A and B are shown apart, each in its own frame.
Chain A
Amino acid sequence: MGAAMAGADRIKRRLLREAVRENLAVINGESPAARRMRREASRRWLRRSLLLLVPAAFLGSLLVVGWATGLDPAWVLGTGKPDGRNPGTAEVVPLVPPPTGVAAEREGLAAGQRFGPPAPLDRAALPLPVRTIILDPGHGGHDAGTVGPGNLVEKEIALDVALRLRNLLADQGFAVLMTRERDAAVQLDQRAAFANASAGDLFMSIHVNWIPNQRARGIETYYLGPTDDPFLTQLAAAENRESGYSLSDLKRLLEGIYADIRRDESRRLAEAVNRKLFQSLSLANPRLADRGVKQAPFVVLVATEMPAVLVEVSCLSHQDEARLLADPGYRHLIARALFAGIIDYARTQTAERGSQLHD
């Protein structure tokens, strides 16, 4: 009985400590993602330090042995031949086999590169698994977005899909943050700032399309880039209306970003999402058109600092798609398809980079 009470007391103490810690993080303006990243960074630092310490200790011991036995240190280290003598078969056998193939390249430790200039940075060398996802339901508050038949409103559909997607992602252990969780107006610069401050690994803005040609239907996915298409320029202007950025801000942001490596990542994400969206929705919407992956300068894509896409999940201007969008089942299908697209992208990342995606 006493032990049980002591156990309960211990649990209470631990929970209180954790509650206080969480509050202090909020006071210090530290996001859970940032805290996690900081923890991981220190773990990484520790691992790297250990990795460096082991060979250093090994080399140090060799030097001591060399000094004690009167051998040339250059020969002992394998960096040269002592006095013109061929070391022949008397090689120093490392305790840990050296990395080979991809692993060796990745660590820049291949023979002859050990002390040379740093190799060009390979994308695959950067372990950037997807952990924190920022979902951005388009519009909100006084900004309803497009309005379809039967008072179907873009801001509501976008929020509904985003909430469903959040649950699906959270169930898989992703940290999911949303730029809005209710019918509230949030400026586009605030959305981007939130995503950046939360250290998101990817950003997805969810919208519903409205196309003047009311026979047009389908899905399309955008990533950041310039466009000459007048319709896309008009669409971006409409979506950017509530941006909160001045023209000069935008110009500065655009100049900094068009050349960014992040754009390639955004394209890959856009392709994965668009593919899954088309595959899944075609089952319920057989005449769905794949309007493809496109580039456009939407503000939320410009100002976010992580791979970012904007998805037009269907078309409210098309009667059939508006009817489908009114159906929660179809909206859930959209959420599932977006989820599958994100997973696809995250898996490719993991496979290519050999890093650990949390299951």
Chain B
Amino acid sequence: MTESNDILYVGIDLGTSRSAVSASNGQRHVVDSYVGWPVDMVARKILKRPVLVGKDALDNRSMLDLRRPLERGLLKEGSERDADAVRQLLKHLLGLVGVGDDGTPGSQVRAVVGVPAEALRVSKQQLRNVMKGLVGSLLIVSEPFAVAYAVDALLHALIIDIGAGTSDLCVMNGRYPTESDQRTLLNAGDWVDDQLFKLIQAHHPEATFSLFMVREWKERAAFVGKAKNPVVVSAPVKGKPTQLDITEELRTACEGLVPPLAETMIDLIAKVDPEYQEKVRNNVILAGGSSGIAGLDKALGEALKDIGGGRVQVVKDPVFAGCDGGLAIATDADESDWEKLTG
């Protein structure tokens, strides 16, 4: 039997674009979900490390075989390199909270990892395999459930967790969400990036830019509804830095998220016991990196007017809500349950 004070509890939100970790020792970190290996001897010599993770990897991408190993919140299929990249990413996250050779041994770690609501059993099993040896015990939960746990919205609430790869919607009825309580949409942050890329390309065919640049522009100024200020960015046109006004393109791309989210939200609410529908309508909670799109909560609130109105709020800390929930689950779970999940 292990003494509980030797144990480190960890909550991880493994995201397509960013991954976050919270630990019971008070450490909290977020990293870009990128992993890269130096492409050749020269790169290895310059970088002085066998593998780079997060912003480091992103900043040195020209010298790296760069991987974004998660697709729609889950391991990409088919490539051992991607599986290895997820392992490196998890190792890095755990290292940030003090797990590893110089800190808490992995066997003393009890981790809760959030995955998309409709993740398949095989995907969960894949994740388990990748995490083997990194942590002592592992509990995998649906990401919106982790968010609901974090904000104590386990009863009569609708969680909308908008990440990069997926938007996960989940009605909390006071029971562990089943398939019918949850939906996963592919309309999420990455989808907005793709739309924005195409729109800017169509409007400014002479400009050259990358998806990384588009993502950065979106993260800086994403909005739906009325623009507070024009969104002007700089991109080379025939090699010359040029100012481009992308206000309309950004609005259109971001507003593309609203109909599928609103439709699915209303659909899920309509399936709730009629007695509790009003409560759920008034307790819609947005989380995830893309929930920070300005005006998105208002737009979804507007959509609720069609079914009697309601209240949509964004969690205080959208990036950490998932992993904080994971941590809360980890610390609340019974010792006997953790023992069952060991290995």
Task: List residues of A whose CB falls within 8 A of some B CB.
Answer: 8, 11-12, 14-20, 22-24, 26-27, 29, 31-32, 141, 167, 170-171, 173, 175-178, 181-182, 184-186, 194
Q: A141-B78, A173-B180, A176-B179 are in contact. List 8 more A-B contacts (CB 8 A).
A: A15-B149, A15-B154, A16-B334, A19-B176, A23-B138, A23-B139, A27-B341, A31-B121
Q: Is the CB of A32 within 8 A of B121?
A: yes
Contacts of B320 in A (CB 8 A): none
Q: Is the CB of B71 within 8 A of A182?
A: yes
Q: How far is the CA of A173 from the CA of B125 in the complex (A)?
A: 25
Cα distance A227–B200 when bound, in Å? 52
| Contact of A8 (CB < 8 Å), options: B77, B152, B175 | B152
Name B174's closest neighbour in chain A (CB-CB): A11
A23's partner among B71, B179, B334, B341 (CB-CB below 8 A) is: B341
B34: interface (CB < 8 Å) = no
- In angstroms, Cα B118 to Cα A6, docked, is 30
Query: In the bound complex, do residue B124 and residue A26 qualify as a contact, i.e. CB atoms below 8 Å apart?
Result: yes
The answer on a CB contact under 8 Å between B77 and A26 is no
Q: Which residue of B lies closest to A185 (CB)?
A: B78
Please give me the residue from chain B that is nearest to A142 by CB atom.
B78
Q: Is B145 in the interface zone, CB < 8 Å from A?
A: yes
Query: A176–B183 Cα gap in the complex (Å)?
Result: 12
Identity of the chain B residue whose Cβ is nearest the Cβ of A10 in the assembled complex: B174
Most chain B C-beta atoms within 10 Å of own C-beta, residue among A14, A16, A18, A186: A16
CB B81 to nearest CB in A, in angstroms, measures 15
User: Which residue of A26, A31, A32, A194 contacts B140 across the interface (Cβ within 8 Å)?
Assistant: A26
B329 touches A24 (CB 8 A): no
- Contact digits for B29-45, partner A, Cβ 8 Å, 1 yes 0 no: 00000000000000000
A89 to B154, CA, bound (A): 66
**Chain A residues whose C-beta falls within 8 Å of the C-beta of B77 in the assembled complex:** 182, 184, 186
Say whether B213 faces chain A, with CB atoms less than 8 Å apart.
no
Interface size class of B (residues with CB under 8 A): 35 or more
- Complex formed: what's the CA distance from A352 to B152 in Å? 48
Contacts of A32 in B (CB 8 A): 121, 179
Show 13 A/B contacts (Cβ-Cβ < 8 Å), sorted by A: A11-B174, A12-B154, A19-B139, A19-B145, A19-B329, A20-B337, A20-B340, A23-B341, A175-B179, A176-B179, A182-B71, A182-B72, A182-B77
Contact between chains at A20 and B140 (CB < 8 Å): no
Task: Tell whether A27 pairs with B128 under 8 Å between CB atoms, given A15-B175, A19-B141, A20-B333.
Answer: yes
Q: How far is the CA of A141 from the CA of B154 in the complex (A)?
A: 38
* Docked-complex contact B175 and A184, CB < 8 angstroms: no
CB pair A16–B78 under 8 Å, yes or no, is no
How far, in angstroms, from A14 to B149 measured CA to CA in the complex? 12
For the residues of A in contact with B, the DSSP-based class is: helix
B108 to chain A minimum Cβ distance, whole angstroms, is 19
* B80 CB to nearest A CB, Å: 15
Instruction: Assess whether A11 is in contact with B139, with CB atoms less than 8 Å apart.
Output: no
Question: Distance (Å) between the CB of B70 and the closest chain A CB?
Answer: 12
A343 to chain B, nearest CB (A): 17
Q: How far is the CA of A268 from the CA of B128 in the complex (A)?
A: 40
Q: Which chain A residues lie closer than 8 Å to B337 at the CB level?
A: 16-17, 20
- A23 and B180 alpha carbons, distance in the complex (Å): 18
A90 to B332 CA separation, bound complex (whole angstroms): 68
Asked if B128 contacts A26 (CB within 8 A), the reply is yes
B154 pairs with A8, CB closer than 8 A: yes
- Tell whether A16 pairs with B329 under 8 Å between CB atoms, given A23-B140, A181-B120: yes
Chain A neighbourhood of B149, CB < 8 A:
12, 15
Q: For A186, list chain B residues within 8 Å (CB).
A: 77
- Bound complex: CA of A105 vs CA of B141, how far in Å? 48
Q: Which residue of A lies closest to B328 (CB)?
A: A12
A167 nearest CB neighbor, chain B only: B183
Is B314 on the interface with A (CB-CB < 8 A)?
Answer: no
Q: Which residue of A lies closest to B122 (CB)?
A: A194
Q: Whole-angstrom distance from the CB of B186 to the nearest CB of chain A?
A: 8
Does B130 belong to the interface (CB within 8 Å)?
no
Residues A26 and B125 in contact, CB atoms below 8 Å apart: yes
In the complex, which of the residues A22, A27, A31, A167 contacts B176, with contact meaning CB atoms closer than 8 Å?
Answer: A22
| Nearest chain A residue, comparing its CB with the CB of B329 | A16
3 cross-chain pairs, A with B, having the tightest CB-CB distances, nearest first: A18-B176, A20-B337, A184-B77
Q: Report Cα–Cα, A177/B334, bound state, in Å.
A: 31
In the docked arrangement, what's the CA distance between A12 and B152, Å? 9
Chain B 108-120 interface mask (CB, 8 Å, partner A; 1/0): 0000000000101
Q: Which residues of B contact A18 (CB under 8 A)?
A: 175-176
Q: Does B155 touch A at the CB level, under 8 Å?
A: yes
Chain B residue nearest to A177 in the complex (CB): B120
Q: Is B155's CB under 8 angstroms from A11's CB?
A: yes
Residues on B with beta carbons closer than 8 Å to the beta carbon of A177: 120
Bound: A167/B125 CA distance, A: 24
Tell me the minimal C-beta distance from A322 to chain B in angstroms.
21
A170 to B267, CA, bound (A): 12
A249 to B267, CA, bound (A): 45
- Complex Cα–Cα for A182 and B71 (A): 9
Q: In the complex, which residue of chain B has the Cβ closest to the Cβ of A172?
A: B180
**A177: min CB distance to chain B, Å:** 7
**Chain B contacts with A in 8-67, Cβ cutoff 8 A:** none
Shortest distance in angstroms between B184's beta carbon and chain A's nearest beta carbon?
9
The smallest C-beta distance from B262 to any residue of chain A, in angstroms, reads 15
Q: Which residues of A contact B122 (CB under 8 A)?
A: 194
- Give chain B residues whose Cβ lies under 8 Å from the Cβ of A173: 180
Specify which chain B residues have a CB less than 8 angstroms from the CB of A171 in the assembled complex: 267, 271
A15 to B145, CA, bound (A): 9
**A136–chain B nearest beta-carbon distance, Å:** 14
Q: For the complex, what is the distance from the CA of A15 to the CA of B152, rounded to whole Å?
A: 12
Which residues of B are found within 8 Å of A20, using beta-carbon distances? Answer: 139, 333, 337, 340-341
From 64 to 118 in chain B, residues with beta carbon under 8 angstroms from any chain A beta carbon are: 71-72, 77-78, 118
Tell me, in angstroms, the Cα distance from A39 to B160 when the chains sit together: 32
